[in-house]
């Protein structure tokens, strides 16, 4: 007996529809994209019952002629491509002419449309894609699609819809994507007769703030780069607002939302070591690229897109975001309205500013006197063995030479003369740096971690790490697993200025260490560094180097609780300000907080 049958038009249409229209949100997406393609500057959405009973989209785009309005519902009817070649130069959204027939096949649909030059509009009605009725109507230039009772004729699919809030969430997601991609287009949304969104034509920044809240505004840092291959612009969030949850992450290519796991990693990489692990920045990044550089998206519902030069774009993107973060990142300010600021005991809630501990400050020490007092602690922890004027100037260059001045005693907050006001140390832990309109509190240990980390990395990358040979090499034993990791890491250790020999069977001999690292407990420091790298077996060479450099920086940085002289503080602050990212430790912790004059005045009431 023969078993093969040709499917009826209706069944075939419903199956095909399933590819495009899987839930109310897919209808919203297709209709919004069509409106944008039609050149609309204003789009209104009306939804009832979370999209189950009504999805209506009205636009002021170019509209359709009567013939087009009828044709639009035929499969493969599109005004957007004619030749295969067009597929490779496509700039509009849909391009298969499949959305409208698919939506029509699974709903009761009405279309009202009029072109600018037509006297009357045309109205098309159908049910399940059948029984098309066409009649003239009165309507504005533009197009309205009314999609009622979605999946009325496919109960099985209706049943598969998730809860109301899930479906509505998907709808909102689609609206967000289209609205972000087209900030110049005004959007309105009402649900159950209540207005939910009203977005005027606005800038991208304005659109982001309208969608995600005013708080976003302060955190948006602009990204902008143009190369012959790709143009990238948009915004990323600052370090402060990176979150474990609730971050907004959007990529668009040529005005269309896309997902891109690989590019996502590029953005995360740019924030590496600047934010806490697991925290995520928000980003709104737009790529513009010649259409022939991206793989045409044959599946309309798919949001993954393949680029020809992914590696190159990855690098451009990562560098652009990193530059932005480094350039715009500002110091966090002390916010008295925020209850939980654990890092600032001196100003935490419960302490009035009058409880501020006495500023302890030592103006007497001068490192430029060759026969000064005993070796200072900051020097001891940041410099190679010999210490004299030459060393200071060689190591710190101009930053030091133009500051050879006798420090002035006393604190002069907002002093009128141009010479930098002296600093004070609080609780042997924070450095107070007065400015004209604000003062800064710097965590001395964290600041030094940042300084050393950048120094170690720069030296390692330029192969200019000064190494200090040890008169008496030190030997210690590694566990078999640590020994395994060590064999992989050894070249990185060398880059950082270590001279280590593998003596076999896990024995390591330390012959030399990076200049400035002398006097450490080498065994523990090196074991610790190996251990930290072992935690991430997938890390590439560069991240291993960073992990090692950070570990070294942490163990060499001046600790909290160490008393610093005035000049040591100055040097630390100068060095910190010369860092590429002075606001955060490589581990993402805040280094400084700022208290502005305004806040002080407010505080005193
Ligand atoms: P595609 O968008 O892939 O061309 P669709 O099925 O989404 O396919 O739409 C078919 C055609 O109907 C479009 O090419 C366009 O000419 C026309 N059309 C659809 N929506 C609108 C609209 N809102 N305004 C004007 N024309 C539209
Ligand atoms: Mg379309």
Predicted pLDDT at 403:
34
Nearest residue (by CA) to ligand 1, atom 23, is 35
Q: Kindly state the average pLDDT of the residues 300-328.
A: 84
Helix (H, G, I), strand (E, B) or coil at 495: helix
Mutate to test the pocket of ligand 1, among 43, 70, 98, 100 (most ligand atoms within 8 A of CB): 100
- Determine the pLDDT at residue 96: 63
Q: What is the pLDDT of residue 121?
A: 96
What is the three-class DSSP state of 433?
strand
Which residues of 424-573 form beta strands (DSSP E)?
Answer: 424-426, 430-434, 438-443, 467-477, 499-504, 507-514
Per-residue pLDDT tens over the stretch 551-597: 999 888 999 999 999 889 999 999 998 888 888 888 888 899 888 88
143 CB within 6 A, ligand 1: yes
With a 6 Å cutoff on the Cβ, whether 59 touches ligand 1 is: yes
User: Is the C-beta atom of 96 inside 6 A of ligand 1?
Assistant: yes
- Look at residue 2 and tell me whether its pLDDT is greater than 50: yes
Nearest ligand 1 atom to the CA of 30 is 7
CA of 121 to the centre of ligand 1 (A): 16
CA of 190 to the centre of ligand 2 (A): 22
| Ligand 1 atom at minimal distance to the Cα of residue 77 | 10
Among the listed residues 167, 159, 152, the one whose alpha carbon sits nearest the alpha carbon of residue 105:
152
Which pair of tokens denotes residue 376? 């200072």
Instruction: Identify the pLDDT of residue 36.
Output: 95
Residue 364 has pLDDT above 70, yes or no: no
pLDDT of residue 420: 58
16 lines ligand 1 (CB under 6 A): no
For the CA of 34, the nearest atom of ligand 1: 20
For 499, left (φ over 0), alpha (ψ -120 to 50), or beta? beta
User: pLDDT at residue 395 above 70?
Assistant: no
**What does the mean pLDDT of the chain come to?**
80
Residue 82 confidence (pLDDT): 54
- Split at pLDDT 50, 70, 90, the class of 302 is low
> At 379, is the pLDDT very low, low, confident or very high (cuts 50, 70, 90)?
very low
Tell me, in angstroms, the distance from the centre of ligand 2 to residue 9's CA.
Answer: 21
Q: What average pLDDT does this structure show over 139-144?
A: 97
Ligand 1 binding pocket includes 97 (Cβ within 6 Å): yes
Q: Which ligand is nearest to the CA of 56?
A: 1
- Summarised one tens digit per residue, pLDDT across range 480-502 is 888 888 988 999 999 999 999 88
The answer, yes or no, to whether any atom of ligand 1 lies below 6 A from the CB of 78, is yes
Would you place residue 213 in the very low, low, confident or very high pLDDT band (cuts 50, 70, 90)?
Answer: confident
Of 271-275, 287-291, 336-340, 513-517, highest mean pLDDT: 287-291
pLDDT (mean) for 74-102: 64
Give the neighbor-by-neighbor strand order of the sheet with 230-237: 220-226, 230-237, 283-289, 249-253, 256-258
Better-scored residue on pLDDT, 199 or 8: 199
Q: Is the pLDDT of residue 174 over 70?
A: yes
296 pLDDT higher than 60: no
Q: Which long-range contacts (CB under 8 A, 24 or more apart) does 90-93 make?
A: 90/291, 90/296, 91/254, 91/255, 91/291, 92/37, 93/33, 93/34, 93/36, 93/37, 93/256
Q: Which of 117-126, 197-206, 369-378, 498-507 has the lowest mean pLDDT?
A: 369-378
For the cut 70, the answer to whether the pLDDT of residue 376 exceeds it is no
CB atoms within 10 A of CB 597: 14
Q: What is the DSSP string of 10-62?
A: HHHHHHHHHHH-SSHHHHHHHHHHHHHHTT-SEEEEEEEGGGTSEEEEEE-S-
- pLDDT at residue 396 greater than cutoff 80: no
Lowest-confidence region among 92-106, 387-401, 430-444: 387-401
Out of 23-27, 275-279, 577-581, give the one with best mean pLDDT: 23-27
- The model's pLDDT over 54-71, given as tens digits with 9 standing for 90+, comes to 999 999 999 999 999 999
The rounded distance, in Å, linking the Cα atoms of 200 and 188 is 8
pLDDT band with cut points at 50, 70 and 90 for residue 197: very high
> What is the whole-number distance in angstroms between the Cα of residue 97 and the centre of ligand 2?
6
* Spacing, Cα 516 to ligand 2 middle (Å): 65
Which 3 state secondary structure label does DSSP give 569? helix
Report the percentage of the chain scoring pLDDT > 70: 78
Q: Identify which has the larger pLDDT, 401 or 75.
A: 75
User: Is residue 402 over pLDDT 80?
Assistant: no
**Backbone phi, psi, residue 519, to 5°:** 90, -5
């Amino acid at each position: 007996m023969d078993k093969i049958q040709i499917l009826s038009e209706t069944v075939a249409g419903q199956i095909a529809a399933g590819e495009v229209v899987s839930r109310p949100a897919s209808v919203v997406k297709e209709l919004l994209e069509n409106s944008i393609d039609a050149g609309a500057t204003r789009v209104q959405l009306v939804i009832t019952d979370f999209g189950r009973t009504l999805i209506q989209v009205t636009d002021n785009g170019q509209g359709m002629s009567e013939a087009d309005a009828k044709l639009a519902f035929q499969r493969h009817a599109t005004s957007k491509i004619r030749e295969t070649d067009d597929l490779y130069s496509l700039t509009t959204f849909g391009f298969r002419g499949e959305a409208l027939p698919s939506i029509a096949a699974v709903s009761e649909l009405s279309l009202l449309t009029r072109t600018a030059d037509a006297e009357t509009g045309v109205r098309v009605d159908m049910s399940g894609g059948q029984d098309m009725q066409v009649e003239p109507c009165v309507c504005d230039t533009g197009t309205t699609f009314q999609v009622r009772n979605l999946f009325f004729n496919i109960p099985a699919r209706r049943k598969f819809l998730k809860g109301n809030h899930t479906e509505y969430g998907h709808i909102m997601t689609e609206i967000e994507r289209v609205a972000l991609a087209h900030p110049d287009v005004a959007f309105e949304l009402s649900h159950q007769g209540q207005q939910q969104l009203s977005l005027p034509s606005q800038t991208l920044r304005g659109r982001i703030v309208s969608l995600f809240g005013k708080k976003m505004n302060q955190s948006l840092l602009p990204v902008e780069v143009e190369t012959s291959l790709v143009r990238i612009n948009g915004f990323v969030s600052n370090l402060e607002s990176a979150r474990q949850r609730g971050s907004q992450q959007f990529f668009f290519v040529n005005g269309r939302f896309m997902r891109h796991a690989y590019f996502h990693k590029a953005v995360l990489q740019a924030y590496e070591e600047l934010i806490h692990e697991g925290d995520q920045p928000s980003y709104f990044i737009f790529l513009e690229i010649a259409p022939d550089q991206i793989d045409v998206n044959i599946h309309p519902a798919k949001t993954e897109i393949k680029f020809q030069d992914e590696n190159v774009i990855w690098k451009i993107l990562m560098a652009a975001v990193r530059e932005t973060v480094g350039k715009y990142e500002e110091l966090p300010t002390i916010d008295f309205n925020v209850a939980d600021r654990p890092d600032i005991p001196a100003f935490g809630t419960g302490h009035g500013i009058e409880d501020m501990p006495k500023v302890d400050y030592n103006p007497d020490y001068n490192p430029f006197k060759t026969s000064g007092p005993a070796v200072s602690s900051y020097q001891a922890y940041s410099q190679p063995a010999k210490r004299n004027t030459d060393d200071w100037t060689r190591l710190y260059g101009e930053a030091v030479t133009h500051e050879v001045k006798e420090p002035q005693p006393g604190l002069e907050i907002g002093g009128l003369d141009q010479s930098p006001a002296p600093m004070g140390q609080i609780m042997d832990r924070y450095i107070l740096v007065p400015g004209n309109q604000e003062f800064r509190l710097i965590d001395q240990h964290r600041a030094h971690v940042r300084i050393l980390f950048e120094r170690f990395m720069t030296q390692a990358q330029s192969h200019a790490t000064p190494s200090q040979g040890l008169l008496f090499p030190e030997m210690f034993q590694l566990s078999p697993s640590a020994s395994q990791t060590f064999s992989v890491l050894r070249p990185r250790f060398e880059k950082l200025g270590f001279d280590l020999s593998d003596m076999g069977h896990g024995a390591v001999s330390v012959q030399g260490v990076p200049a400035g690292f002398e006097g450490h407990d080498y065994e523990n420091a090196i074991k610790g560094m190996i251990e930290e790298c072992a935690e991430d077996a997938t890390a590439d060479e560069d991240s291993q180097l960073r992990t090692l450099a950070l570990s070294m920086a942490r163990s060499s940085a001046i600790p909290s609780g160490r008393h610093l002289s005035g000049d040591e503080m100055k040097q630390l602050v100068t060095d910190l300000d010369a860092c590429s990212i002075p606001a955060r430790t490589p581990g993402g912790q805040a280094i400084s907080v700022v208290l502005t004059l305004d806040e002080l005045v407010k505080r005193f009431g």
